[in-house]
Amino acid sequence: MNDLTAVILTKNEEKNIIAAIENAKKFADKVLIVDSGSTDDTVTFAERYGAKVVFRAWNNDFAAQRNFALEYVDTAWVLYLDADERLNDSLIAAVKKVLQNNRNKQYSMMRKIHAFGFTYQHGIFKPDEVLRLFQTKSVYWVNKVHEKPVCDFPKEQLDGFIEHYTYNSWQQWLDKAGHYTSIWAEDVYAKGKRTSVGGAFFHAAYGFIRAYIIQCGFLDGWSGLYSSLQHFIYTLMKYLKLYELQKTNEKSKA
């Protein structure tokens, strides 16, 4: 036995959940689903394919969902996945080796982004490093969106890739971007961050330049161009929503 639980956060993931669970079973003893109120067959499919399902009401806090999962993990190790992510064979082998060695470390993985029918190599969607594998008692998560783990153990990167099969359409991207940027703005406003309209456009313009030129998004052709434009829009939305919160709260205090 590997003594590992794979944790997957879900809401309305019936199209992905079976494949996600089958992939997780290749390296994990247990699969734990933290569902936030699916109205499709996500929970039914998850239970049918052998996963344990627990519920936590969604409150716009991804870190809280991940920390909640730890209350139900009784294995020594935990690995976090999204429902649209799959570990390839090389990474599965690397995870199994980690469990055999059982060292006091945290482990990162490279993630390839597959979006809009294209596999990205550059720009904002280029392969990125994500921390996902931990000794269960060594980690907790912070930040409501773009959450990150806190762990004191040294980091080591594993061979192989997470294959991330994300956005299928512009509407799907827009829906998620609208949701994430609202959470971000509320979170950073509460922490004291402020901006201006000029600052919002500056951050957005720099985000486009970084994605398209510095990170060589242009090498991905048209896909690199529109992913860089998406990053411009996403960044602009974040900061304009922050500015909107500022003005709203200033008026309420006047």
Q: Which residues of the chain have pLDDT under 70?
A: 1-2, 254
The reported pLDDT for the residue numbered 254 is 65
pTM: 0.88
The reported pLDDT for the residue numbered 1 is 45
The reported pLDDT for the residue numbered 236 is 98
The reported pLDDT for the residue numbered 193 is 96
The reported pLDDT for the residue numbered 248 is 92
Residue burial 134-160, b: 16+ Cβ < 10 Å; e: rest: bbbebbebeebbebebebeeeeeebeb
The reported pLDDT for the residue numbered 2 is 58
